[in-house]
Amino acid sequence: MEQNEQKNNGLNRRTFLQGAALGLASLALPFDRADASFWESFFQKHFREMNEAEIKNVLSRLEREYEEKYKKAIKIGNEKAMPGVLFGYGLDLSRCIGCRRCVYGCVEENNQSLDPQIHWITVLRFKKGEKWVDLENAEKYYNPEKVPQDEYFYMPVQCQQCENPPCVRACPTQATWKDPDGIVVIDYNWCIGCRYCMAACPYGARRFNWGTPNRPAEKINPKTHYLGNRPRYRGVVEKCTFCIQRTRKEPGRYPACVEACPVGARKFGNLLDPTSEIRYAIEHKRVFRLKEDLNTSPKFYYFFAYGK
């Protein structure tokens, strides 16, 4: 009897192993990653359903993966939203000169792919003296010798961090959500790449990794956040996070685009702090928000500090 049982077990184990091998072979589409870390990443849980220990595990695995890929240490943070903070952004259109330094400052800070090229900020150029913000006649690919050009004004657009974000509602897998400090974030390991959020976003703020993101190791910013600027994957969506890796980790620090702006057109701060720069701008300037009629309630305020 005992012998029989042993024999049975042996058979079962073997059939199981065969089955598992077949299963592996059929599922392991990315053959180059058919190792333990591939399966760990395949079965990784939703970020908000993991406990601290599980998150720690994931972060160290990802750090290992990135180090293997880029041959340099990359730190992935997981700073939570601070209580009493609601981030807001201001943009002074009267100052903006359309130089796109914010665009490239952002790319440098946030590890966007260089080829194919991904920008989180789009700067639009409008003709002065005709219409107000007339998107249909805006020019995104302007390329003059020198900016600013007298007859134009410029308007940078990035994620507006809506209080009522249509993208979050659209996402079928809850891979994108609004954190308590108002930042709309994406879990790049949970996004299935359906791009419904991109159809839902009224501001064209979301970018998809159509190809494999490429960025040379020496240009990788090693200070990252899980929900922010860590290197992304092919087939997932990404967007501006108000430089979550800076603004959460070092309270008071500006996002890269604010620092990059040579004319001080960009303001950033805590909307809940009555003494903040952004509160001053909102209270003292005539601010407006893009596509107010859609009721998305952006935390991104445009204004003209002076008429020119």
Partner 1 sequence: MVQIIKNFFIALRQIAVGDKKYYLWVSFLSFFILLGASAYFGQLNKGLIITAMRDQVSWGLYISNFTFLVGVAAAAVLLVIPAYLYNFKPIKEIVLFGELLAISAISMCILFIMVDMGQPLRVWHILPVIGAMNFPASLLAWDVVVLNGYLAINTAIAFYVLYRLSIGKEYKMSVIGPLIILSIPWAVSIHTVTAFLYNGLSSRPFWNASILAPRFLASAFCSGPAIMLILFQIIRKLSEVEIDNKAIFKIAELIAYAMGINLFLLGAEVFKEFYSGSIHSAPIEYLYFGLHGHNKLVPWTWFATVMNITAFFLFLFPRSRENFTTLNMACLFVIIGVYIEKGMGLIIPGFIPDVLGEIYEYTPTMQEILITVGIWATGALLYTFLLKFAIPVYTGKLRFFSKAQMIAARDIMSRRVTTVRPETPVDELVKFMLSKHLTDTAVVDAGNKLIGTVSERDIISLEVGQSTGKTASDLMTAPTGTVPENFRIQELGKVLASNKTNLLFVVNDSGQPIGTIAGNDILKALENIRQE
Contacts to partner 1 by CB under 8 A: 27, 29, 42, 46, 49, 116, 122, 124, 134-138, 140, 157, 166, 168-175, 190-196, 198-204, 206-212, 233-237, 294-295
Q: Which residues contact 207 (CB under 8 A, 6 or more apart)?
A: 112, 118, 119, 120, 237, 238, 239
Nearest-approach distance from CB 297 to partner 1, in angstroms: 13
Q: Nearest CA to 165 among 292, 290, 297, 268? A: 297
Give the nearer residue to partner 1 in terms of CB position, either 74 or 237. 237
Q: Nearest CA to 116 among 194, 237, 209, 193? A: 209
d(CA 195, CA 297): 22
- Would you call 76 exposed, middle or buried from its count of C-beta atoms within 10 A (0-12, 13-18, 19+)? buried
Nearest-approach distance from CB 292 to partner 1, in angstroms: 12
Nearest-approach distance from CB 188 to partner 1, in angstroms: 10
Nearest-approach distance from CB 239 to partner 1, in angstroms: 11
Give the nearer residue to partner 1 in terms of CB position, either 193 or 262. 193
Give the nearer residue to partner 1 in terms of CB position, either 248 or 299. 299
d(CA 112, CA 147): 25
Give the nearer residue to partner 1 in terms of CB position, either 206 or 225. 206
Nearest-approach distance from CB 194 to partner 1, in angstroms: 6
Give the nearer residue to partner 1 in terms of CB position, either 201 or 281. 201
Give the nearer residue to partner 1 in terms of CB position, either 28 or 287. 28
Give the nearer residue to partner 1 in terms of CB position, either 200 or 272. 200
Q: Which residues contact 120 (CB under 8 A, 6 or more apart)?
A: 103, 106, 107, 110, 112, 158, 159, 205, 207, 238, 239, 240
Nearest-approach distance from CB 27 to partner 1, in angstroms: 8
Cα-based torsion angle of the residue sequence 203, 239, 274, 293 in order, rounded to the nearest 10 degrees: 20
Q: Which residues contact 226 (CB under 8 A, 6 or more apart)?
A: 47, 55, 58, 59, 62, 76, 77, 78, 187
Nearest-approach distance from CB 180 to partner 1, in angstroms: 18
